[in-house]
Amino acid sequence: MQPESRTPVTLRESGDGLIRAGVTTFRRELLIAFREKQDVINPLVFFVLIVSLFPLGISPETEFLRDAGAGIIWVAALLAILLSLNMLFRNDYADGYLEQWVLSPQPLAMMALVRVSAVWVASVVPLLLLVPLLGLMLHLPAERIGVLTLTLLMGSPVLLLIGAIGAALTVSVRNSGMLLALLMTPFYVPVLIFGTGAVTAFGQGASITGHLAILGAMLALAIVLAPLAIAAGLRMSVANG
Amino acid sequence: MSTTLLEARQLYCERDDRVLFSGLDLSVGSGDIVRIAGPNGAGKTTLLRVLAGLNLSFEGGLSWYGYPLHQQRDWYQANMLFLGHRAGITASLTPLENLRCWVDMRRPHREELLWEALADVGLEGYEDIPSAHLSAGQQRRVALARLYLSTEPVWLLDEAFTAIDQGAVKVLESLISSRAAQGGAVVLSTHHRLQLDECRVLELGGSLGFAT
């Protein structure tokens, strides 16, 4: 080991390089997801299992599945996202990276948004790619699969962002998995109602712009407000550690 | 002649209805090395986390260059390095990736510096091995490599000497004193007896903290 540091003591201005830090945060999340594949694959397998058990458990008839299919896929996706929430900050909290991340001279809310986006890309996008396949399995007509995918595309970021608030608040609590699910489910209900509502309305030949507008409003609100709450939650959790 | 960087006035902190410290005054200027001493449970870690701005449940004032710390958090965090009990090393990433993520969050850097820093802590040849395969001491060394990359004037080191061998402790001591000589400030907690002449000791454990 060297007895001297190579870099001189320098008094720096407050945080620069927002884009550099954002890119780093994004890449790190993707890299970890790539290395720890089971964290990504477990919710996916769970998602496919739920959807494929419904026809066996209730009825494999085409008419039933065509009416219920969108709801089944939405609920399964919601549960899969709920399942992956617990891992969002857990490992980084346990090994101490989270406190280093909170202490970096960057706006924490922006970093939190970047991080949740990376998680969305790594674990929700594969799930969305499976939706057309599962839709076919449940005899959904092609146009309805299109609407279903669109609603999930708008709804899943909302689920993840709201869930991340809960994950940030409970990361320092031991065995918080069930607590997190209980806390988050009430907040997920409106997203579920308007998501499946759009597909049902489409099936009945009604207009879906109203449903999509409300989903879009929830998405916009979540993108703006959730990162602030996530940042505050993380600061509180790190303070307890 | 030294500038006061970080100052704490009348700090009071309790945990589980037990007072850890009260009326604690501490002023850390450039060139200072302060060792926080005291038995287990005396509040050494708590004090360092309060100084780092992580622990917010305390009373009293903290200031950075004379400004209230909570108003200058970004500026302070750009100039403060905190090493905690938990090293912040991600098991699935290699030492090089761990170090790169940490620096990228803070400032631009040259890639060679990362390799040099890892070589400096004796991890040459381990740069591309997942950190999970390293020993506890080697993982601690990855965390310590941050010190070799650091430009931050203030270092807060909580039990930085755990799990590393005696030779490395000696090197760290000289690293810390050379840092102070360059104008840095170091606050650390350790049970090791340090061979540093210019070191101040802050004894915790009574109800009153005092600097000698």
Q: Which residue has the higher pLDDT, A137 or A5?
A: A137
* Residue A8 confidence (pLDDT) above 70: yes
* Residue A9 confidence (pLDDT) above 80: yes
Q: Between residues 179 and 238 of chain A, which touch chain B (CB distance below 8 Å)?
A: 235, 238
With CA atoms as reference, the chain A residue closest to B53 would be A103
Cα distances (angstroms) measured from residue B135 to each of A24, A102, B139, B172: 26, 26, 6, 19
Question: What pLDDT, on the 0 to 100 scale, is given for residue A157?
Answer: 97
Question: What pLDDT, on the 0 to 100 scale, is given for residue A4?
Answer: 73
What residues in A contact B153, CB-CB < 8 Å? 9-11
The lowest-confidence range among A6-20, A99-113, B65-79, B166-180 is A6-20
Nearest-Cα distance to chain B for A152, in Å, is 31
Question: What pLDDT, on the 0 to 100 scale, is given for residue B206?
Answer: 57
- Distance between CA atoms of residues B121 and B51, nearest Å: 26
* Residue A44 confidence (pLDDT) above 80: yes
- Residues of chain B with pLDDT below 70 are 1, 206-212
- Distance between CA atoms of residues B18 and B42, nearest Å: 10
CB of A9 within 8 Å of a chain B CB? The answer is yes
CB contact under 8 A, A5 and B77: no
Task: Identify how many contiguous H helices and E strands chain A contains and give both numbers.
Answer: 10, 0
CB contact under 8 A, B178 and A5: yes
Question: What pLDDT, on the 0 to 100 scale, is given for residue A175?
Answer: 83
Nearest-Cα distance to chain A for B23, in Å, is 21
Tens of pLDDT, residue by residue over A178-228, are 899 999 999 999 999 999 999 999 999 999 999 999 999 999 999 999 999
Residue A150: partners with Cβ closer than 8 Å, 6 or more residues away: A198, A212
Tens of pLDDT, residue by residue over A132-142, are 999 999 999 99
What residues in A contact B178, CB-CB < 8 Å? 3-5
CB contact under 8 A, B171 and A2: yes
With CA atoms as reference, the chain B residue closest to A4 would be B175
Average pLDDT taken over every residue of chain A: 93
CB of A175 within 8 Å of a chain B CB? The answer is no
- Distance between CA atoms of residues B152 and B133, nearest Å: 30
Helix axes A209-240, A108-119, angle to 10 degrees: 120
Nearest-Cα distance to chain A for B59, in Å, is 15
- Distance between CA atoms of residues B194 and A107, nearest Å: 37
Question: What pLDDT, on the 0 to 100 scale, is given for residue B103?
Answer: 92
- Share above pLDDT 70 across residues of chain A, in percent, rounded to a whole number: 98
- Give the confidence band of A15 by pLDDT, cuts at 50, 70, 90: low
Question: What pLDDT, on the 0 to 100 scale, is given for residue A162?
Answer: 97
Q: Which residue has the higher pLDDT, B198 or A161?
A: A161
Span A73-85, average pLDDT: 94
* Residue A116 confidence (pLDDT) above 80: yes
Reported ipTM: 0.89
